[in-house]
Chain A
Amino acid sequence: MARHVIAPVDELPPGSRKFLEIDGRPIAIFNVKGEFFGLLNRCPHQGAALCEGPLIGLASSSDPGEIEYTKLGEILRCPWHGWEFDIRTGQSYCDPRRFRVRAYPVNVEPGTNLVKGPYVAETIKVAVESDYVVVEL
C-alpha cells in the first residue's frame, strides 16, 4: 500500500472535493465539515462518476409522512440513477438484491431502520499529516 500526498489541507476547505487519478484509478477526496473522506469515483451499479453527485442527508421514516433527516452532507447521491451511498462506509441504501453472489462487506450502522443492500462503493483511507492530505492506496 503506497502513500500519496494529495494536497495541502488549506486547498481542500470544508465543503470541497477534489478529483484525481492514482495509478489510473479515479478517486475523489471530500472534506465534509473538517473530516476527510475518499471514494473510488465509480458507482458500483452502472459505473457512473459517482463522486460528481450531490452530498445530501439520509431520509428515513418510522411513520408515513414523518421524515427524519440525518447524516446531513454525508450521503452521496449518484449523478445518474440517484442511488445513495454513505460517504463514511460506502454503504448503499435500498435493497438491490441483485448480484448477491458478490460478497461485499456490509457494516451495520445503528440508528437506522433502512434495509441495506450489498452494494458498497469503494472507500479509500485519507489522513492528514503535517497539514497535507494523504491517501493510502
Chain B
Amino acid sequence: MNVQLRDRPQAAASTGIKTAIADCDIHPARATNDELHPFLAKRWHAHLETFGVHPYQGMMGGPPYPKAQPNASRRDAYPPEGGPQGSSLSFMQKQLLDPNNVALGVLNPLNTGQGIRNQDLAAAICSAINDWQIEKWTSKDSRLKGSVVVANEDGVSAAAEIRRRAGDKNFVQVLLLSRNVEPLGQRRYWPIYEAAQEAGLPVGVHAFGFGGNPITASGWPSYYIEEMVGHSQCQQSALASLVLEGVFARFPKLKMVMVEAGFGWAPSLAWRLDKVFSKLHAEVPHLKRKPSEYIRDHIWWTTQPMEDPESRDHLFQVIEWIGWDKLLFATDYPHWDYDEPSRVLPAGVSDANRQAFYLDNAKQLYGIG
C-alpha cells in the first residue's frame, strides 16, 4: 500500500537551495499579549486592558484596510500548538529555518509600541518587545537576531533604548517603520540616527506604520491593494526626506536598510533626485554630494516582495543599477506575500552575485561572522 493518509500535510519542503542563506525579514508574533507581561511594568497591564494601544488610526484592533489573509499571514503557518502565525519558535524552525538552511534570520517585530500616540506606553512596549525577543527567540536559537524597536516619535526615549541595547549581540539593527508623524528625515528622529551610528547598528526602515497621514498625497484611497502598493511610494518619500534633510551628511557612518518596500523604484528616484538637485541645490546647501551618492553608500534593500518583471533581463538591469552588493534576501515569513528562497532569483546570475544576494551582503552588513 503506497497511500498514506494524514490529517494535515507536512511543512512544504524547500525544493532547491541547500546552501546557507540569510533571511533579513522575519516577523515573530506573540502567541498571546500576555507574553509581554513579564517585561512590562504592572501599571501598563491594566492600562492596555482599559484603553488599548491608542494608535494613529481608528480601529481598536486590526487594520482599517483588511488584509489578504488572516493576520496578513500564510494560512499554512499556524503553529500546531495554536496561536497566530509566527508565534512558535519550534514551528518556525521546522517550516522556515531548517528546510531553507537559514544561517542568519533577522527578526522584525511589527506589532510593537511604534505608531501609537502615548509615548510613555510606546517606550514601555518597545522595551518589553526587545526583552521578549531575547527571551523567546534569540537566546533559544543562535541563528536568529533581533531588531531594537523604539518609540519612534520620541527621539530622546528612542535613543536611550538604543544605547541600552548597544553592544548586545542579540541585536543587529534598530527598526523603524516608514510611516510616521513626519517624514523620516525630520529632526525629531535624529537622536535615533545619532544613537544608532554610535552603537554601530544599521537602521532598518520597514514598510507600514501609522503616523496619521493619508497614504497618498491626495487623501485616503479605497482598497487594500492601494495600501500595499502605496507602501513603496511612502518609502520613496521617506528616503527622499532622509537624503534631502542631510541625515547622511550629518551621520556619515549611518547605514540604513529599506525593508519590504521594493527596490525597483530606487534608480528612478535617485535619477529624479539628482536631476532636481542639479537645479535646486541652493535650497539644501547641507548636502555635500549628489543624492544618488548618499543612496548608493548608505542604503541596503531587502528583496521581498521580489520585483517580478516579465523579463528577467529587466530585473537584472535594475539590480545592476542598484548594485548586487546592496540587496539582502528576505522571505517576510510568515506573511502571505512570502518569497520562497528557491524561486526568487531567476537563472543566469553568477555564483558570486548569488552568494552576495542570499548571504554575504547580510553577514557583512550585520557583522555576523
Touch between chains A and B, by CB atoms below 8 Å: yes
Residues of A within 8 A of B (CB): 4-7, 18-23, 26, 28, 41-42, 46-49, 51-54, 79-82, 97-98
Q: How many A-B residue pairs have CB under 8 A?
A: 66
B76 part of interface (Cβ distance < 8 Å): yes
Stretch from B198-206, B211-219, B333-341 forming part of the interface with A: B333-341
Chain B neighbourhood of A5, CB < 8 A? 3
CA distance A81 to B344 in the complex (A): 14
Q: Would you call A49 and B3 a contact (CB within 8 A)?
A: no
Interface pair B4/A21, CB less than 8 Å apart:
yes
A46 engages B9 (CB within 8 Å): no
Minimum distance in angstroms from A61 CB to a CB of chain B: 13
Q: Residues of B contacting A97 with CB < 8 Å?
A: 310
Q: A52-B75, A98-B310 are in contact. Are A80 and B5 (CB under 8 A)?
A: no
Q: Is B8 an interface residue (CB 8 A)?
A: yes
Residue from B3, B15, B76, B339 within 8 A of A52 (CB atoms): B76
Q: Which residues in A have their C-beta under 8 angstroms from that of B139?
A: none
Main SS of chain B's interface residues?
A: loop
Interface pair B336/A81, CB less than 8 Å apart: yes
A98 to B337, CA, bound (A): 18
A22 touches B69 (CB 8 A): no
Q: Which residues of chain B are near A48, meaning CB under 8 Å?
A: 12, 74, 76, 340
Return chain B residues, CB-CB under 8 Å to A46.
338-340, 343
> 17 interchain pairs (CB within 8 A)?
A5-B3, A19-B7, A20-B4, A20-B5, A22-B3, A46-B339, A46-B340, A47-B12, A47-B343, A48-B340, A52-B8, A52-B76, A79-B74, A79-B76, A82-B69, A97-B310, A98-B308
CB proximity of B208 to chain A, nearest CB, Å = 18
A49, B76: Cβ atoms closer than 8 Å:
yes
Nearest chain A CB to B222's CB is how many angstroms away?
A: 10
Residues of B within 8 A of A7 (CB): 5
Shortest A125–chain B CB gap in Å is: 15
Asked whether any CB of chain A lies closer than 8 Å to the CB of B279, the reply is no
Alpha-carbon distance between A106 and B9 when the two chains are bound, in angstroms? 28
Asked whether B6 is an interface residue with its Cβ less than 8 Å from the other chain, the reply is yes
> Do residues A19 and B74 form an inter-chain contact, with CB atoms below 8 A?
no
Which of A18, A42, A54, A98 has its CB near the most chain B CB atoms (within 10 A)?
A98
**Docked-complex contact B9 and A22, CB < 8 angstroms:** no
Q: Give the chain B neighbours of A82 by CB distance below 8 A.
A: 68-69, 336
CA distance A47 to B75 in the complex (A): 14
Pair B8/A6 contact, Cβ less than 8 Å: no
- Chain A residue at smallest Cβ distance from B344: A46
Closest B residue to A135 by CB, please name it. Answer: B3
Q: A52-B75, A53-B75, A80-B74 are in contact. Are A23 and B2 (CB under 8 A)?
A: yes
In the complex, what residues of A have CB within 8 A of residue B4's CB?
Answer: 20-21
Q: Which residues of B contact A51 (CB under 8 A)?
A: 9
Q: Is the CB of B5 within 8 A of A18?
A: yes
A26 CB contact (under 8 Å) in B9, B76, B310, B343:
B9
Residues of B within 8 A of A49 (CB): 9, 12, 76
Residues of B within 8 A of A98 (CB): 308, 310
| A52 in contact with B9 given A23-B2, A80-B336, A80-B338 (CB within 8 Å) | yes
Within 8 A of A (CB), among B258-292: none
CA distance A49 to B14 in the complex (A): 11
